[in-house]
Every structure is written in C-alpha cells, then in structure tokens.
Amino acid sequence: MLDTIPAPLFAALAVTSLIDDGKLADPATLTAAMFGLVAAPTRSLLWVLLAGPVAIDAHAMRRCRSFISGFSAPNASILKMYIDVAKQIFVSTFSVAHLPEDLK
C-alpha cells in the first residue's frame, strides 16, 4: 500500500512518526512535512486510507474521483485522524473552528 501514497503525503507521515517519540525533528524536516501535508488534499488522504487502492490505474483513478466528488471539504479545514493499535481508522468531522469567522 505504501507505493500508492503520494510522495509528499508519505514524507509527512514519516515525519510524524519521529515526533511521536516526544522529540521534535529538525526545522528543515518539519518544514518539509508541513508542505507535504499542504500538498496532499484531505479527501485524497481519506481515499488512500479507506479504499487502500493496490494499483494506480484508470479504474482506480475513476473510483478516487467518484469518492472525492461525493462530498466537500471546506478550504483549510482540519480532519483529525486516529489509528489505534488494531489499525482501525477513526476520523472526525471537518473542523473550521480555527478560522476567523469571515473565512468560515
């Protein structure tokens, strides 16, 4: 499944595992991770996590497009995710609470 994750997203996920140990990575790595997360649309991340495509081909791309066009995600929204020890994925609703009122 790792080869189906876009490179920027994979880099960002790898960096979060470094932070998990309670130590911060160096600023350059954190900056790269931040840009990786910004570059990977939230709906695409959900597609990879929930559908787990095994091949990237025309059929998988059509399924992904159908999936991400089935709902909207507010610009700059936050989607909290938790993966437990059994590798079950839990997601929150899209949150815009951090945005100023005029941007919600």
Name the DSSP class of 82.
Answer: E
Question: Which is higher by pLDDT, 33 or 72?
Answer: 72
Place 27 in a pLDDT band, splitting at 50, 70 and 90: confident
Across the range 51-78, mean pLDDT stands at: 79
Domain boundaries along the sequence of the chain: 1-40
Q: What is the DSSP letter of 79?
A: -
Opening angle at CA 72, ends 66 and 77, nearest 5: 130
pLDDT above 60: residue 42: yes
Q: Is the pLDDT of residue 21 over 80?
A: no
54 CB burial (10 A radius; 0-12, 13-18, 19+)? exposed
Q: How far is CA 104 from CA 3, 16, 18, 73, 99, in A?
A: 35, 28, 32, 12, 6
